[in-house]
Chain A
Amino acid sequence: MRIPCPYCGERDAHEFSYLGDATLTRPDPAAADAEQAFHDYVYLRDNPAGAHEEWWYHANGCRQWLRVTRDTRTHAISGAAPARKSGEPA
Chain B
Amino acid sequence: MSATNRNRLSAGGLIDRNQTRGFSFDGTRHRGYAGDTLASALLANGVRLVGRSFKYHRPRGIFSAGAEEPNALVELRTGARREPNTRATVTELYDGLEATSQNRWPSLALDALSLNRFLAPFLGAGFYYKTFMWPAAFWEKVYEPIIRRAAGLGRAALEEDPDHYEKATAFCDVLVIGAGPAGLMAALTAARSGARVILADEDFLPGGGLNAEAGDVDRQPAPAFAAGIAAELASLPNVRVMTRTSVFGVYDGGTYGALERVSDHLAVPAPFQPRQRLWRIVARRAVLAAGATERPIVFGGNDRPGVMLAGAVGTYVQRHAVLPGRNIALFANNDGAWRDMLAAQAAGAHVETIVDVRAEVAPELIAAAQAKGIRVLKGAQVIATHGRTLRSLEVATASGTERIAADTLAVSGGWSPCVHLTCHHGGKPAWNEDIAAFVPGTCPPGLSVAGAAKGILGLGACLRDGAETGAESARALGFTVPAHEVPEVADAAFALTPFWHVEGSKGAAFVDLQNDVTAKDVGIAHKEGFRSVELLKRYTTLGMATDQGRTSNVTGLAIMASLTGASIPETGTTIFRPPYTPVSMGALAGHHRGKDFRPVRLTPTHEWARAQGAVFIETGAWLRAQYFPRAGEKDWLETVTREVTAVRASVGLIDVSTFGKIDLQGRDVGAFLDRVYINGFAALAVGKARYGVMLREDGLVMDDGTTARLSPEHYVMTTTTANAAKVFQHLEFCLQVLWPELDVALSSISEQWAQIAIAGPRARDVLARVADGDVSNAALPFMGAVEGTVMDGVKARLFRLSFSGELGFEIAVPARHGAALAQALMQAGETFGITPYGIEALGVMRIEKGHVSGSELSGQTTAGDLGFGRMASTKKDYIGRTMAARPGLADPDRPAFVGFRPVDLSRRLRAGAHFLNRGAAPETANDQGYMTSVAYSPHLGHWIGLGLITRGPERLGERVRAYDPVRGEEIEVEICAPGFIDPEGVRLRG
Instruction: Give the B-binding residues of A (Cβ under 8 A).
Output: 1-2, 12-13, 17, 19, 26-27, 29-30, 34-35, 38-39, 41-43, 55, 57, 59, 63-65, 74-77, 82-85, 88-90
Contacts and interface: CB of A to CB of B under 8 A. Distances in A.
Contact of A89 (B742, B885, B886): B742
**Nearest 7 CB-CB pairings of A with B:** A2-B253, A1-B252, A75-B252, A29-B877, A83-B736, A38-B882, A88-B740
A41 B696 CA distance: 13
B733 A12 contact: no
B883 A39 contact: yes
B970 interface: no
A41 B253 contact: no
Contacts of A88: 740-741
Given A59-B725, A76-B445, A64 B883 contact: no
Given A26-B738, A74-B425, A85-B740, A41 B733 contact: no
Given A64-B736, A76-B445, A83-B740, A2 B882 contact: no
Contacts of B877: 29-30
A38 B884 CA distance: 11
Interface in B247-263: 251-255
B732 interface: yes
B732 A75 contact: no
B714 to A, nearest CB: 16
B881 interface: yes
A12 B881 CA distance: 36
B666 interface: yes
Contacts of A27: 882
**Number of contact residues on B: which range applies?**
20 to 34
Interface string B251-277: 111110000000000000000000000
Contacts, number: 75
A1 B732 contact: no
Contacts of B736: 64-65, 82-84
A42 B358 CA distance: 69
Most buried by A among B698, B729, B736: B736
A35 B885 contact: yes
A77 B445 CA distance: 12
A24 B459 CA distance: 57
B737 A65 contact: yes
Contact of B697 (A42, A63, A74, A89): A42
A90 B737 contact: no
A90 B745 contact: yes
A85 B740 CA distance: 8
A88 B881 CA distance: 27
B218 to A, nearest CB: 39
A12 B255 contact: yes
Contact of A77 (B253, B425, B741, B886): B253
B282 interface: yes
B883 A42 contact: yes
B743 interface: yes
B742 A2 contact: no
A63 B747 CA distance: 10
Most buried by A among B740, B744, B877, B885: B740
Interface string B724-752: 01000100110011101111110000000
A19 B726 CA distance: 12
A22 B261 CA distance: 43
11 contacts: A2-B255, A26-B738, A39-B883, A57-B732, A63-B732, A65-B736, A75-B253, A83-B737, A88-B741, A89-B666, A89-B744
A2 B885 CA distance: 41
A83 to B, nearest CB: 4
A2 B741 contact: no
Given A1-B253, A42-B883, A89 B740 contact: yes
A54 B97 CA distance: 54
Given A29-B877, A59-B729, A63-B732, A2 B740 contact: no
Contacts of B745: 89-90
Contacts of A43: 698
B733 A55 contact: yes
Contacts of B741: 88-89
A12 B885 CA distance: 40
